[in-house]
Structure 1
Amino acid sequence: MKAHGLRFAFGTLSVLPVRVERWDRPSAGRAMLAAPLVGAVLGALAGGLGALLAWRGSALLGAVAAVAALAVLTRGLHLDGLADVADGLGSGKPAEDALRIMKQSDIGPFGVLTLVLVLFAQVACLAGQFAHSPARGALAVLTAAVAGRCALGWGCLRSVPPARPGGLGAMVAATVAPAQALAVTALGALLLTVLHPRYALALVLGQLAAALLLRRCVQRFDGITGDVLGALVETSATGALVCLALWA
């Protein structure tokens, strides 16, 4: 049963060739709890690439490579969700109309602006970390990737309903107990504390940033969608990176 959750997590949250054998809500709930593990794997791959290019090239090149690698390894899934949520929130329309806007294939001005600013922020924060040392930059990438996936558990709490039927959002919505989300986040923070307390603090503050967005989305859309979950990932990851930048 746990293996099905892991396959669900890696198969839906990454481009890694993992076959999803069970597509049901129990597996979806376990997948959201296993999501930080996906973040750790993707963060290690992207961080390693960034460190290599920062060592051989420049800190800025390493930062761009790491951000690009995470986008490629996730098919741009979370960035797409962030852009759609920005368009939905920025429209100022009622929930039904905002959800329709989010479902459209094109990206509006709010989405474009949000993507540009978030990606610039991520690159700027990581460039500072890679400038300090390639290893510190790689750890920052790892922290951001894990923090972003921890936010998925909080977004799928049993008290948070789906905004519409169908789709990945409805499949995973309301599948995680608060104690489970807290345990996963606490475990992630504990493991990062071994590296340095700043990484654990960054993870926690990343969850707070995502919580603010989650609250706003539930108010506006009456629940979550797959796009909202993607936006939570990017918001939490960016919040963690800003925390690390300010710590430095």
Structure 2
Amino acid sequence: MTTSRPTSRLVDGGRMAVGTFTAVPVPAPGSTGRDVAAVAMLLAPLAAVPLGLVVGLTLWVGREARLSPWAVAALAVGLLALGSRALHLDGLADTADGLTASYDRERALDVMRTGDVGPAGAAALVVVLAVQAGALVTLAAHPWGPLLAGVLVCLSRGAVLVSAAAGVPGARREGLGAATSGVVPVAAAALTGLGLAAVSVAPALAADLAWWRGPLAVLVALVAVAALVRRCVTRLGGVTGDVHGASIEVALAALLLAAS
């Protein structure tokens, strides 16, 4: 295991977060030890700020130009996928296929490793993307709805605080899941989660929603992600990089739906 000084650990963690959760080009981190991975997971919501801006601006411009709300929402979802190299969507599809492939753990992990999209993966993509786009249509109609949507995109990356929390094992000995499983201390995850819930209050109020709608959306997403992670630990023996991606997409769908 590689350790680093606090300053270099923060820099490396920031680079790892941006490089892992977005398509923004950044220099490779000098260290990728578990201490750096923990920082990266905690910084995931901040790393996604460019993605949130893209989604928010797309919804706002589309609304002001009086374009089709559904077309604009679909474009926003597509740009978000492009901004993350569609890796999280790939993780969602692979996780769905793995969980429905077989009750044999190794067989399920092999299915996830191949990367082919099966029926369960395709269905998961259709449902989750439809929920995300449909919720964006509703949010975009509010005066400050695009701002709330952009913030929720960033908050959704906080799903990794659950999937990478201490006590959550990795399903494999190699890969992103092995490098990031159990790296986030429970106290740090809880404090960051409370901070994310607090951040959601301001944009919810700006969008003419009750103050509690933002925190409620965060709670709904937390429950959804926790259920997914629990299922993966039970069936697969732990989490993988695909599970991290699936958690983010599920969290975003839950956040947007609850806020809408």
TM category (shorter chain) comes to: over 0.9
Please, what TM-score do these two structures have when normalized by structure 2? 0.89
Counterpart of 2:32 (choices 6, 23, 30) is 23
Counterpart of 1:179 (choices 166, 179, 187) is 187
Contact 2:131 2:253 in 1 (8 A): yes
Q: Which position in structure 2 is the counterpart of 1:33?
A: 42
Q: Which position in structure 2 is the counterpart of 1:116?
A: 126
Q: Tell me, in whole angstroms, the C-alpha distance in 1 between the residues paired with 2:134 and 2:116.
A: 27
Q: What's the offset of the Cα at 1:218?
A: 0.5
Q: Which position in structure 1 is the counterpart of 2:4?
A: none
Question: Runs ≥4 in structure 1, deviation > 3 angstroms?
Answer: none
Counterpart of 2:257 (choices 238, 242, 246) is 242
* Residues 6-37 of structure 1: per-residue CA shift (max 9 Å, x gap): 11100111110111222221111100000011
Q: What's the offset of the Cα at 1:142?
A: 2.4
Q: What's the offset of the Cα at 1:220?
A: 0.4
- Give % identity: 37
Q: Which position in structure 2 is the counterpart of 1:214?
A: 229
Q: Tell me, in whole angstroms, the C-alpha distance in 2 between the residues paired with 1:187 and 1:157.
A: 16
Contact 1:5 1:31 in 2 (8 A): yes
What is the one-letter code of the residue matched to 1:100? D
Counterpart of 1:152 (choices 155, 160, 166) is 160
Whether 1:7 and 2:11 are equivalent positions in the alignment is no
Gapped runs of 5+ residues in structure 2? 1-8, 206-210
Counterpart of 1:62 (choices 72, 85, 91) is 72
Q: Tell me, in whole angstroms, the C-alpha distance in 2 between the residues paired with 1:54 and 1:83.
A: 31
Whether 1:128 and 2:128 are equivalent positions in the alignment is no
Q: Which position in structure 1 is the counterpart of 2:208?
A: none
Q: What's the offset of the Cα at 1:41?
A: 3.0
Q: What's the offset of the Cα at 1:107?
A: 0.7
What is the one-letter code of the residue matched to 1:234? E
Q: Tell me, in whole angstroms, the C-alpha distance in 1 between the residues paired with 2:136 and 2:45.
A: 20
Contact 1:25 1:172 in 2 (8 A): yes
Q: Tell me, in whole angstroms, the C-alpha distance in 2 between the residues paired with 1:204 and 1:42.
A: 22
Q: Which position in structure 2 is the counterpart of 1:170?
A: 178
Counterpart of 1:100 (choices 110, 125, 148) is 110
Contact 2:18 2:48 in 1 (8 A): no
Q: What's the offset of the Cα at 1:69?
A: 1.2
Whether 1:223 and 2:238 are equivalent positions in the alignment is yes
Bigger mean CA offset, 117-126 vs 52-61:
52-61
Q: What's the offset of the Cα at 1:45?
A: 2.0
Q: Tell me, in whole angstroms, the C-alpha distance in 2 between the residues paired with 1:209 and 1:146.
A: 17
Q: Tell me, in whole angstroms, the C-alpha distance in 2 between the residues paired with 1:46 and 1:16.
A: 15
Counterpart of 2:51 (choices 22, 42, 47) is 42
Contact 1:163 1:224 in 2 (8 A): yes
Please, what TM-score do these two structures have when normalized by structure 1? 0.93
